[in-house]
Structures are given as structure tokens and as C-alpha cells.
Homo-oligomer: A and B are copies of this chain.
């Protein structure tokens, strides 16, 4: 046997490139902003930057089929990615969906999952442009990638907060955690219809992407979406900006519904607002003299904003209702805990 001249010849250029460790194919465009923000920003072509983000949801880790309907899961899997695009000030263009399904998953479940995702796609103008469906040996795994666009150099990052900037959040905090606590307590939207907005905040989050884009145009200095909870997320923003800050617990916007649920469950609603996570609202900072026009801008999107603190040179602290500061730790959230 002669040893594969043809195969070797064909591979030569590629192997040479691999061995030399240099790009054989020059990249098209460049990364303006890479790992570490809500989304990556890519500079391609002359006029627009591309923004791309991806998130994975794993059954048993991020969701349970007993608590989440397939429609809600489909909605949420896309919504959390659209939320990240909004955090950069970008508008969605399209999404790609990878889903790994155990053998035996009912086609009805899949159909409902796609229906929920399609609802979300329609609302946010982020149609599904492709994806991959594969078999999973056990749990359902869903990875969604959303891509969007923004004017060249206009993406808002986590790193722009400056000394004296106001720390603000959109909407209310803790509704999603309240909804989760109600579900964990055995309640459901059917038996507690008065709590539907809380269940909905957890199961079918609706990030105010239009409001986030307005904030980006309105000159906010830093922005990110609230996915892991204010304490973790603000610590990330603060670290990225190389700044500290003060947040006042009394100023956190907590809905009356969440306060009601907290009273009923005998839990502190502030804990939900500070550490509950999955709010899918926006955390942003803005110079004090640029804040005034923002509420009217947000009102056009049916969204409120609340000043909850300010950026300063000292440690990042949460000030409780007695005026006592607690240092917010650096982000300790780990998916492997």
C-alpha cells in the first residue's frame, strides 16, 4: 500500500497553517467587544456594528418541566437573549436555536415550545433564522443565539460608569423571585390568579428592549440587564467600570404585588429585589445632568425608572433602612455551586 499521497496533498496548506499557528484565513471584520459583557460587539462593514449573544438553559438546572410550560420556556429562552441585545442598546435582527431533546419527548411539547418562542420572536421582531435539533441522552438543553445591530461604536457597555453617576433600574425588582417563591410554595397561576403578574415575571419575562434602546440613545454611561440579581449584577458593572458605589435598599422599586406575596409567605421582599435574580429589567448609570429627560423617554415605552444609588470612589455598598452599609461582594455567583 502506498501511503495516501492524495489525502496528504489536499491537507497540506491547512496543516501548514495549523502547525505555524497563524490564521490561514484573515477574519472578516473584528471584535470590538469580546467576552465579559452582555453581548459581543463585532465591527463588520461600514455602517453598523453587530451584536451577538448566547444563553443556554438546561433542564433540572435552569428549569423544571413540572413548573414551566413548554410555551413559557420557549418564550423565555428567546427573551433572555433579546434582553442581552437590549443591554447593549441594540435592536434584534434574528435568532438561532439549538435544542437537544431526549428520545421520547412528545411532539406536542416541542410544538408548544416553538409556539412560545415564535410569540416572543413576533413581539420583539427577532425571527428564528435557523438552528440545530439533536438528540440528548437525558435532559433537554436549549441554546439560543440572538444577533442584532447598532450604529458603529454606539453599543453601551458595562464599563462606562463614572464617579458621581446615578445608579438606576427600570421597572420593579423581585417580581420574578416572588413568582418563583410562589411556585416553590405549591401555588399556581390557576389557584392564585391575583399573582399572575408575578408568575408571569418569572415564567414569561418581558425585557423592555425598546426602553433600553431609548436609554442608549439618551446617553446612559453604562448598562446591563438584571439576570442574576441586583447585588451580583451591580458588582459586575462596578468592577467593569473600576468604580464603587452606594445603593439604598429603601429606594429599590418593589411592586405592591411582590410585597403582598412576601407578607403572605413571610419572606423579606428586599431579599428578592437584591438577590432574587431573573428580573430582566435594566440596570444603568447616567451622569446626573443627563437624567432629567429619561423618564419621559421611558414613558413612551410604558416603562418607569428609579434612581437607587450613585457611583462613587469607595467600596460598593448596600445601605439598609437603618443607614447601615454592607459591602457587596464581588460577583460570587457560580453555575457550579
Contacts and interface: CB of A to CB of B under 8 A. Distances in A.
Interface centre among A46, A99, A127, A150 (most CB of B within 10 A): A127
B127 A31 contact: yes
A18 B336 contact: no
A139 B136 CA distance: 8
B6 A172 contact: yes
A7 B128 contact: no
Interface string A35-69: 11101101011111010111110111110000000
A73 interface: no
Given A206-B15, A335-B133, A21 B149 contact: no
Contacts of A30: 93
Given A29-B149, A122-B23, A130-B34, A197 B55 contact: no
A255 interface: yes
8 contacts: A7-B255, A8-B197, A21-B123, A36-B130, A40-B129, A46-B46, A54-B131, A58-B137
Nearest to A7: B255
Interface stretch (A283-291, A300-308, A316-324): A300-308
A297 interface: no
